[in-house]
Amino acid sequence: MIIRTMTAEDIIAVRNMEQGLFAEDWSEHIWQQELSNEISNYLLLEEAGTVLAFAGYWLVAGEAQVTRVATSKEHQRRGLGAQLMSALVERAHQQQAFVVSLEVRESNRAARELYRKLGFREQGIRPNYYRATHENAVLMDLVVE
Ligand SMILES: CC(C)(COP(=O)(O)OP(=O)(O)OC[C@H]1O[C@@H](n2cnc3c(N)ncnc32)[C@H](O)[C@@H]1OP(=O)(O)O)[C@@H](O)C(=O)NCCC(=O)NCCS
């Protein structure tokens, strides 16, 4: 199993993997834009050439803002999300980030638990953040040392 930087050549595999995991899939165009954005960083976890998980962030003024994290449906609950998020935090640290921040749907128990386990703390709520479902976002962050 290896963790490496995602490139444009991985878009098809990542799009296949993320199908059904999010309320909205990212189109190929969105992925192209993300990967060509100089503030963005995406990591993949793969085994024998198969993408099992990905996670990304934008680095803005020393803050690593997590954009998207997912583990393929068949490989969830095997510690891969935790492994990849730890690598993301380490990468952000190497890039001089002082904090990693994110927002997560209030109902997303799996993700909130994952982040909590890694030391992220809940800092507040953004009401009605996800407009389509009128759901609150929980703001979480981890100070990087
Ligand atoms: C959230 C997500 C990335 C977790 O990935 P994962 O690889 O399954 O997570 P891990 O196996 O590393 O789990 C680490 C810890 O998180 C918590 N956790 C993970 N899935 C959980 C679940 N379904 N219910 C409760 N806690 C859960 C547990 O504390 C777990 O530790 P444990 O298995 O020792 O109890 C995955 O469920 C996913 O891809 N969800 C859909 C996309 C998504 O919601 N992304 C996050 C918002 S951007």
Find the 79 Cα to ligand 1 centroid distance in Å.
Answer: 8
Distance CA(57)–CA(69), nearest Å, equals 9
Distance CA(102)–CA(76), nearest Å, equals 20
Q: Which of 115, 122, 130, 145 is catalytic?
A: 115
pLDDT in tens, 25-54: 999 999 999 999 999 999 999 999 999 999
Find the 114 Cα to ligand 1 centroid distance in Å.
Answer: 5
pLDDT band at residue 131 under the 50/70/90 scheme: confident
CATH architecture designation of domain 2-143? 3-Layer(aba) Sandwich (3.40)
Question: Hey, where are the domains in the chain?
Answer: 2-143
Check pocket membership of 73 for ligand 1, CB cut-off 6 A: no
What lies within 8 Å, CB to CB, of 38 at 6+ separation is none
Question: Is the whole model's pTM more than 0.85, yes or no?
Answer: yes
